[in-house]
Structure 1
Amino acid sequence: MSGLVVSLVLAALAPFGVIGAGMERAQAQPPARPEATTTSAPTRKLPPGSGPEAPSPPTEQDSPKEPVPTEQVVIPPLPAGAEPAPLAPEVQQKLEDDLAARQRTFDRLFSLRAGESRRFETLLAETTVLEARLASVDAERRLQEERLVEARGRLKRLAVARYVATPVAPLNHALEAPDFMDLSRRLAVLGAVTDADQGRVEAYVEASRSITGDFDRVNADLGRKRGELDAARLGLEKADATLLSGKAQLVSSQTGGLIVAGGLSFPVAGPHNFTDTFGAPRMTGTAFAHFHEGTDVFAPTGTPLVAIERGVLISVGSDVLGGTKLWLVGATGTRYYYAHLSAFAPGVADGKPVQAGEVVGFVGSTGNAQGTSPHVHFEAHPDGGAAINPYPLLRIIDEAEKAEPVPPKP
């Protein structure tokens, strides 16, 4: 993209924290974005065998996540008269179209999230009512059980007292009646006392059975409602994660609308393809679980990697996840991360000034990319802050480079 101007204002993204703490709360993957970009740009040739071998593989004692380096560097000024020209109108239109599309997506995600939130709040209120109802029914059930135990105990004590301790006393008392009528009354009273106690027991049994049925029904309703609430909670968390990802996409495009995106070179100098996977979970279920903070650009092993803009290289080395990696501090203040390289270009070292399009390394699959298709993991951190989605900018650069006329072969 020679002849275009760089005026990045990506620092506007930093207050949004578009990846970092907010995104790390999300437990669900944002919806897949099938959009892909491919190109068949000619590979920049280098002398055979150039570039040192990749360093030894990192050990488990290395840092599990590459932090953004904080060292300050001085970017050499552009030579006089080297200021690039303004952005082409068709590329500017592409930026505006991208922003409008992402705004529509964000508005839709915001509406969906609001619906999930209302559903969750409704289910939470219904669950609270059922929990209170269950507590009330349970208290009544316990009271009936206590009454039943008490009535059965009383009946048992009465039976023991009348028929065990003095088995003939109640009957003798009845038989001492002076006449038949009095005998009948005494026997009736004896039976009535026993029947009354038995009746109370039966009433308490029936009440206990009824309240237990109520308890079981309310408990079952509460179980179902809690299941719905858990599902709604997961839905809300997913909506939060998706909305946050959409916000990152929108903010990236909003910044892109302020970018006069030029003086930039696509970081892979050869045939490649890439998709928008910013925010997708990686290495789930491991100690290194994290969300994807960049764009993976796939290309054959050994394809040259170039500086996206002029700047200075820092933190050249290796780590557990990134493998062979380096950082580029651009003239705009944005810090770019290149990971999974197979090797560095000759002369690459900390503090080396580079120009946009200058080869800095080669595509590989080191670090946690071993066993995957070779690619470069590319991140952009405005002013060294939180990662922003580099996909919109990469796509614009890629399309602008493909639109440039290819010089005729000599």
Structure 2
Amino acid sequence: MEYVFPVHASNVDFHTTHAKYPATDIFADCGEPVVATTSGVVLEVSLTDEYVKGRPDGPLNGGRSVSLLGDDGVRYYGSHLQRVLSGIRAGVRVQAGQELGEVGHTGNANGVCHLHYGISPPCARTGDWKVRRGVIWPAPYLKSWRKKGGKSPVSEVAAWKSEHDCKA
């Protein structure tokens, strides 16, 4: 199984933690390419930014986003995209490293260009935003993939699913 760091940029950094739940923010300039972490099928795409500041947390927080079901059975989610590439839609097969969109600051990104990145099981496949946004810490995997390593989140995601029955 091939894994690829999800942002192609020379100036990119990420936090090892995230506020409120396990995920991370990958910081890069707006417009930098966001790519498929691994080969798989696109589950969900949000092409519009319908987030309204001040509303409670919900599925619109991510602004423009793409959710991918990897061939490894794990879901990979990226949001706050400036744009999603033409042709990227639910049901489309993509390859590891294929461009999906561009880093942006849509949704609740507070004007900061970054990719919100989450790893989770594909519980309901669509609509389960609390799980989709991330349930395991991505940092160990991102560190591996950044160095062209093959560290897989499959066992950690399976353990989380077994323990939590897909309830975030």
Task: Give the alignment's TM-score, normalised by structure 1.
Answer: 0.30
Shift of 1:350: 1.1
Cα 1:276–1:329 shift into 2, 3 Å: same
Question: 2:102 aligned with 1:354, yes or no?
Answer: no
Q: Is contact 1:330-1:336 (8 Å) kept?
A: yes
Q: State the Cα distance separating 1:323 from its structure 2 match.
A: 0.4
Q: Superposition pairs for residues 84-103 of structure 1, below 5 Å?
A: none
SS in 2 for 1:323: coil
Q: Which residue, 32, 43, 48 being the options, matches 1:303?
A: 32
Higher RCO (C-alpha 8 Å, min separation 6): 1
Q: Secondary structure at the match of 1:309?
A: coil
> AA paired with 1:382?
P
Show the 5 A alignment for 1:304-343. 304-317=33-46, 318=48, 319-343=59-83
1:395 paired residue number: 143
8 Å CA contact 1:295–1:377 kept in 2: the answer is yes
Q: How does 1:94-173 map to 2 (within 5 A)?
A: none
Query: Which runs of 5 or more residues in structure 1 are unaligned?
Result: 1-5, 7-262, 281-290, 402-410
Do 2:4 and 2:148's aligned partners in 1 also have CA atoms closer than 8 Å?
A: no
Structure with a larger share of its residues in strand: 2
d(CA) in 1 for partners of 2:73 and 2:30?
Answer: 30
Alignment partners' CA distance in 2, 1:376 and 1:276? 14
Pick the aligned partner of 2:118 from 359, 379, 385: 379
Task: Give the CA deviation at 1:383.
Answer: 4.7
1:2-17 matches, within 5 Å, as 6=1
Q: Deviations over 1:241-285 (max 9, x none)?
A: xxxxxxxxxxxxxxxxxxxxxx1111001121112114x3xxxxx
Count of residues in Structure 1 that have an aligned counterpart in Structure 2: 128
| Cα root mean square deviation, aligned | 1.7
Question: 1:270 corresponds to which letter in structure 2?
Answer: A
Preserved contact between residue 31 and residue 82 of structure 2 (Cα < 8 Å): yes
Q: TM-score, normalised by structure 2?
A: 0.71
**Pairwise mapping of residues 167-246 of structure 1 onto structure 2 (< 5 A)?**
none
Q: What is the Cα deviation at residue 335 of structure 1? A: 0.5
Answer yes or no: is the 8 Å Cα contact 1:269–1:303 preserved in 2.
yes
Tell me which structure has the larger Cα radius of gyration: 1
Runs of 5+ consecutive residues of structure 2 not aligned to the other structure = 49-58, 124-130, 150-168
